[in-house]
């Protein structure tokens, strides 16, 4: 359906018209998730990995009020250099960004919306948002979880970010009816580490299995999405006790400084990267690459 606010790149439009596989990629990871220039290098590498796997990458963002699905290299570089000056956009922000003809980097939730509008079924990211620690008091719960329950896009990630309350995140996803599928694992990965202690809904070991579930959902008009949790490669997995200690100290610092809302995640990721001497950033980059490769394999099967 024609949408005056939606702008597909020529490459993405040609792939969709030819019924060739496309995967969505988010842009908040570029502007808010990593420092420059690693953010731009990572974005370019993600697109290259998708193409090497026979899939067209569709990095999503809002530029000049247009919902862009598929960016060129100049646009990727702009988002990386602008960093936090670019709006961090979730579901609630999209109409305002359009009306103001503003620029915005899309979160998981917003990227799912843009992908669904364009007809892209599979989306690769680093880690989803979730229920923040202390949410029983603050009610700080990511819009990503609601989006997964209502938008039919399959998200491939390395689990929920380990700065979150992973147990409550899994409970929330279960309540919302979102299947959490462990890709080659029975346990929810915790972003920097391969294990969390929490069981997934189902385990699947091949792209064909995942694609069959996605197609079944499409055939019955399934309303929500699916969450595919893909563990970080063993070589880049960090010791759980070590990273948990680093996260605990970063959380204490964020509370002391009064950081809240959508500023929490970028603040914590930056503090964790500093505390680990850049090791966490290296792990973050590698897990994203791994997710792009797996999402590409799934998209080809779908």
CA distance 132 to 163: 7
Element of type H or E holding 179? none
Nearest to 272 by CA among 286, 292, 252: 252
Sign of the alpha-carbon dihedral angle for 103, 109, 114, 117:
negative
Size (the chain), residues: 302
HSE-CB for 210 with a 13 A CA cutoff: 31
* Angle between helix 73-82 and 38-52 (nearest 10): 150
Please give the DSSP secondary-structure letter assigned to residue 6. Answer: E
* Angle between helix 279-301 and 38-52 (nearest 10): 30
Q: Which residues does the annotation mark as catalytic?
A: 26, 161
């Amino acid at each position: 359906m024609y949408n005056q606010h939606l702008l597909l790149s020529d490459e993405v439009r040609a792939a969709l018209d030819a019924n060739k596989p496309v995967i969505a990629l988010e842009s908040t990871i570029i502007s808010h998730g990593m420092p420059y220039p690693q953010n731009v290098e990572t974005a370019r590498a993600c697109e290259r990995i998708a193409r090497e796997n026979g899939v067209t990458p569709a990095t999503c963002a809002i530029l000049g009020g247009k919902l862009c699905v598929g960016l060129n290299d100049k646009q990727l570089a702009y988002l990386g250099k602008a960093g936090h000056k670019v709006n961090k956009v979730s579901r609630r922000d999209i109409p305002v960004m359009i009306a103001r003809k503003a620029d915005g980097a899309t979160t998981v939730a917003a990227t799912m919306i843009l992908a669904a509008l364009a007809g892209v079924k599979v989306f690769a990211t680093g880690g989803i948002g979730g229920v923040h620690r202390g949410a029983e008091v603050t009610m700080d719960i990511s819009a990503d979880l609601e989006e997964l329950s209502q938008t039919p896009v399959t998200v491939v990630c390395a689990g929920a970010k380990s700065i979150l309350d992973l147990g409550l995140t899994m409970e929330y996803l279960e309540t919302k009816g979102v299947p959490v599928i462990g890709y080659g694992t029975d346990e929810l990965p915790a972003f920097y580490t391969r294990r969390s202690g929490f069981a997934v809904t189902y385990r699947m070991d091949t792209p064909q299995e995942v694609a069959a579930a996605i197609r079944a959902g499409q055939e019955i008009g399934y309303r929500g999405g699916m969450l595919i949790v893909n563990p970080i490669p063993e070589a880049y997995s960090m010791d759980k006790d070590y990273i948990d200690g680093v996260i605990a100290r970063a959380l204490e610092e964020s509370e002391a400084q009064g950081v809240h809302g959508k500023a929490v995640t970028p603040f914590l990721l930056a503090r964790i990267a500093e505390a680990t001497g850049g090791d966490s950033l290296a792990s973050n980059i590698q897990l994203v690459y791994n997710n792009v490769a797996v999402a590409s394999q799934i998209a080809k099967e779908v």
